[in-house]
Amino acid sequence: MSVTHPAGFVAAGAAIGLKSTGKPDLALVLNQGPTFDSASVFTSNRCKANPVLWSEQVVKDGVVRAVVLNSGGANCYTGPEGFQTTHQVAERVGELAGIAPGDVVVCSTGLIGLVNDRQTLLDGVAAVHARLSPDGGDAAAEAIMTTDTVSKQVVVTDDAGWSIGGMAKGAGMLAPALATMLVVITTDAVVPAGDLDAALRAATRVTFDRLDSDGCQSTNDTVTVMASGASGVTPTRADFTAALTEVCRSLAVQLLADAEGADHEIAITTVNAASEDDAVEVGRSVARSNLFKAAVFGKDPNWGRVLASVGTTSAAFDPADLDVAMNGVWVCRNSTPAEDPALVDLSERKVSVTIDLKSGDAEATVWTNDLTHAYVHENSAYSS
Amino acid sequence: MSVTHPAGFVAAGAAIGLKSTGKPDLALVLNQGPTFDSASVFTSNRCKANPVLWSEQVVKDGVVRAVVLNSGGANCYTGPEGFQTTHQVAERVGELAGIAPGDVVVCSTGLIGLVNDRQTLLDGVAAVHARLSPDGGDAAAEAIMTTDTVSKQVVVTDDAGWSIGGMAKGAGMLAPALATMLVVITTDAVVPAGDLDAALRAATRVTFDRLDSDGCQSTNDTVTVMASGASGVTPTRADFTAALTEVCRSLAVQLLADAEGADHEIAITTVNAASEDDAVEVGRSVARSNLFKAAVFGKDPNWGRVLASVGTTSAAFDPADLDVAMNGVWVCRNSTPAEDPALVDLSERKVSVTIDLKSGDAEATVWTNDLTHAYVHENSAYSS
């Protein structure tokens, strides 16, 4: 049920003809109130898609009443015509739902540079609006899939009577500061927009922002959270932030597990760093090493490629005194060979890498995938 | 003949038993003078291999009389024992050649974390020293190969009676600021060490430093140039720098052409940038996009992936006003679709991408390769 689990939300998904496969390609999530507080984060890519340019304006007043999302075309680098399409989609949603277009977030995903047929989209908005229902969460989550093989949904409930639901899409281009990731999160808790914003930034900083599947950053990433207040309960900031972080972490892990062509899910944890920033920088550098990622695909515990990546960072450490473990086996101690790499079993899907910088007490985990033949195949055989 | 083409140099290569294949794995290049001026640049990776730590000290006085290079083991993350091995190799070269060990640059390449048998190396030094000859350039170039499929050599001659010869190895880990690249360059021109240094930095800045095959930066990169002065000719700084740049460019192009598993050689030229740094940053961001590189492998002129990379940089540009050409076809104008991408023929090995930032008059070219099944195979099936 995901986004329709919290009270006050209806959703729908439909196949409107954008995807050549005939699969569902338009989703709508509507907040029925009584509150309409919201918060959003967007891609930090400077080349932003038209729906992002639109939605960045929409969210400024902290009020969002609906999110409409299409797959089958990113509406990116499509010029003023593309922006007009986004604008008209928001207006159509507004007309049908009786809300202001300026309260409608628009998200698009699919091929960059592809101009979607505007009339198909506008007709589709009517079709999907007609299907809005308190049971529509699954259909909405399905309609935003692109190369995803499964839909991503999560619900976290609190004993005090409120809950958070979320849905996400994204399989390629997962990278720092969010990447081709569309996420809609709903809650029936009472949370003012300012608190929502603080909670969302805290949650994404340690979840989506630490997911770096292939180092490529999308033009369309959007995460929007809407609070309906329908439960009548006002949680503490700490409780709400914790629950929202759990939602984001679950969705991030689901994205990682379904990343294009991946054979392994790799958690890179940097410990004893001088700062959390150092730990993230080190983790990300390893997550972006094609040589390391290919080695994991080949089940080769190649810690030399780990240290070669660590050495490209500006983090505080002594190059002659680094420890590295893979799946708990300390294959490198003090920057020299230690336990036998043959003890590292990389046959399982989940892999852990631990890098001990011995320079402080901060730590952070960055998640990535391996580099596989299937990744190359998916990204060379098909445009996306 | 490469490094032995200029007068005053002898070289040799031999199979000493480091490589399990029995192929040549030790090379020695000796400057017989009358001058012994030199200049070197090394990897900017902070995790440096033992031979780099040694050689960085050797080159400080501007005098280098010999370079000894082994393949079959990088001697990196091998601790104090590994450093001792490097030291003793330099001492053995010194004893045999009658020169100070402190004038011997040592280079190693191969698997990180592998401890080479010291005695094998020391015995090998004697074997290779016994073969030193004015015709030994080819053998030396062959002995430094790892996953290279061909040796890389070049000679540039000047009508005034001097020449420059060079050899290089490197096929993986080619990345900014040099990467698993060992390069020895010789000249019989008379060039004081300070001028050599200036010329070498100028040459590498626009050649090796702009080669980014797979974004991974090695721990062992070394480029050393030695001047014997044997021609008796002192070229102008401009002439010498131009010739040295030509040597470096030739070797860089040879490295690019032999990069592991590559199907395409991609030249990314950024034009009308506000600064050369901006142009390099933009080119490098595209060179590091796995999605773009996989698309080129799939012969897909996916300019959206180009702009998505450009958008991650801090270069000066208007995101709504970028032009992109592939192989001369302007598939994107003003950040919108322009000429038909179907006109771009990516069947040839060489690919050009031009990005017009419309923000100044600086430009730069960064070279990379595509991301192929063969790259994944080479780097997952074998340790290196």
Instruction: Assess contact for A30 and A97: CB atoms under 8 A.
Output: yes
* Cα(B57)–Cα(B105) distance, integer angstroms: 9
pLDDT of residue B274: 98
Nearest to A89 by CA among A132, A38, A27: A27
Chain segment A20-36, per-residue pLDDT in tens: 899 999 999 999 999 99
Measured CA to CA, the distance from residue B315 to residue B291 in angstroms comes to 21
Residue B176 above 60 pLDDT?
no
- pLDDT for A173 equals 41
Residue of A nearest to B293 (CA): A380
Q: Do B319 and A373 touch (CB under 8 A)?
A: no
SS3 state at A183: strand
Identify which of B110, B124, B133 has the alpha carbon closest to the alpha carbon of residue B220.
Answer: B110
Indicate yes or no: CB of A113 within 8 angstroms of CB of B373.
no
Q: How many residues does chain A have?
A: 384
- pLDDT score recorded for residue B308: 87
Q: Which two tokens stand for residue B291?
A: 């999605």
**Token code pair at residue A366:** 């960055």
Q: Please say whether the beta carbons of B372 and B261 come within 8 A.
A: yes
CA-CA distance, A111 to B41, in Å (whole number)?
Answer: 43
Contact B272, B360 (CB under 8 A): yes
Q: Do A77 and B298 touch (CB under 8 A)?
A: no
CB contact under 8 A, B297 and A219: no
Tell me, what DSSP letter sits at residue B210? Answer: G
Nearest CB to B335: which of A79, A294, A376?
A79
The structure tokens 């660590």 sit at: A310
Task: Name the burial class of residue B134, with classes exposed (0-12), middle (13-18) and buried (19+) by CB atoms within 10 angstroms of its CB.
Answer: middle
Mean pLDDT of A3-31: 97
Q: Could you tell me what percent of chain A has a pLDDT over 90?
A: 73
Q: At what angle do helices A50-58 and A79-97 cross, to 10 degrees?
A: 50
Contacts of B217 in chain A (CB under 8 A): 308, 311-312
Of A269, A267, A278, residue with least CA distance to A360: A278
Contact present, A4 and A134 (Cβ < 8 Å): yes
Q: Which helix (H) or strand (E) holds B298?
A: none
Report the pLDDT averaged over residues A33-62: 94
ipTM above 0.85, yes or no: no
Instruction: Give the CA angle between residues B321, B327, B330 to the nearest 5°.
Output: 30
Phi-psi region of B328 (alpha: psi -120 to 50; beta: other; left: phi over 0): left
What is the per-residue pLDDT for A219? Answer: 86
* Beta partners for residue B29, in sequence order: B11, B67
With beta carbons less than 8 A apart as the criterion, state whether A170 and A149 touch.
Answer: no
The per-residue pLDDT for range B246-290, each reduced to its tens digit, is: 999 999 989 888 877 889 999 999 999 999 999 999 999 999 888
pLDDT for the residue numbered B25 = 96
The answer to whether residue B137 scores a pLDDT higher than 50 is yes
- State residue A383 phi and psi, 5-degree precision: -75, 145
The least confident of A163-167, A253-257, B61-65, B194-198 is: A253-257
Judged against a pLDDT cut of 90, whether residue B376 lies above it is answered with: no
SS3 B232: coil
CA–CA min distance A216, chain B (Å):
6
* Euclidean distance between CA atoms B50 and B61, whole angstroms: 19
Q: Find all residues with CB under 8 Å of A24, minimum gap 6, and list them.
A: A13, A14, A15, A71, A139, A142, A143, A145
- For B273, the token pair is 């940038």
Looking from the CA of B371 toward its CB, the CA atoms found within 13 Å total 30
Measure CA A331 to chain center.
32
The residues, any chain, with a CB within 8 Å of residue A205's CB and separated by 6 or more, are none
Mode of pairing for the β-strands spanning A66-70 and A104-108 = parallel
Is the pLDDT higher at A99 or at B291? A99
Q: Is the pLDDT of residue A280 over 80?
A: yes
Inform me whether the pLDDT recorded for B35 exceeds 80.
yes
Q: pLDDT tens digits, residue range B338-375? A: 999 999 999 999 999 999 999 999 999 999 988 888 87
Q: What is the mean pLDDT of residues B288-304?
A: 90
Lowest mean pLDDT among A134-138, A259-263, B105-109, B293-297: A259-263
Where is pLDDT greater, at A21 or A211?
A21
Residue whose pair of structure tokens reads 């450093």 in the numeric block: B83
**Chain B residues with CB-CB distance to A172 below 8 A:** 291
User: pLDDT value at position A176?
Assistant: 37
The encoded tokens of residue B289 equal 């996009």
Compute the average pLDDT of residues A363-367: 93
- C-beta neighbour count of A63 within 10 angstroms: 18
Chosen from A112, A173, A296, A376 to mutate, greatest number of chain B CBs within 10 A: A376
Q: In this structure, what token pair is assigned to residue B132?
A: 């030193």
Closest CA to A164 of A86, A92, A225, A103: A225
Q: Report the alpha-carbon distance of residue A349 to residue B311 in Å, rounded.
A: 33
- pLDDT higher than 70, residue B131: yes
pLDDT tens by residue, A217-257 = 788 889 999 999 999 999 999 999 999 999 999 999 898 88
Strand, helix or coil at B12?
strand
The predicted structure's pLDDT at residue A174: 43
Supply the mean pLDDT for chain A.
92
CB A52 within 8 A of CB A74: no
Structure-token pair, residue A101 = 């277009």
Contact B312 A45 (CB under 8 A): yes
pLDDT value, residue B113: 83
The pTM (predicted TM-score) of the whole model is: 0.85
3 state SS of B160: coil
Instruction: Measure Cα distances from B311 to A86, A174, A340 in Å.
Output: 21, 15, 43
Q: Residue B215: is its pLDDT beyond 90?
A: no
| Burial class (CB within 10 angstroms; exposed 0-12, middle 13-18, buried 19+) of A202 | middle
| For B298, nearest residue in chain A (alpha carbons) | A380
Structure confidence at residue B91 as a pLDDT band (50, 70, 90):
very high
* Partner residue facing B308 (CB), from A219, A303, A376: A219
* Mean pLDDT of the region A322-336: 96
Which pLDDT value is given to residue B173? 41
What's the whole-number mean pLDDT along residues A46-57?
94
Window from A143-152, A323-332, B209-218 with minimum mean pLDDT = B209-218
Give the pLDDT band of residue A383 (cuts 50, 70, 90): low
What is the band of A134 on the pLDDT scale with cuts at 50, 70, 90?
very high
Q: Is the peptide bond before A34 cis (omega within 30 degrees of 0)?
A: yes
What tokens were used for B181? Answer: 């690249």
pLDDT number for residue B112: 83
Q: Which among A216, A308, A337 is the nearest to B219, CB-wise?
A: A308
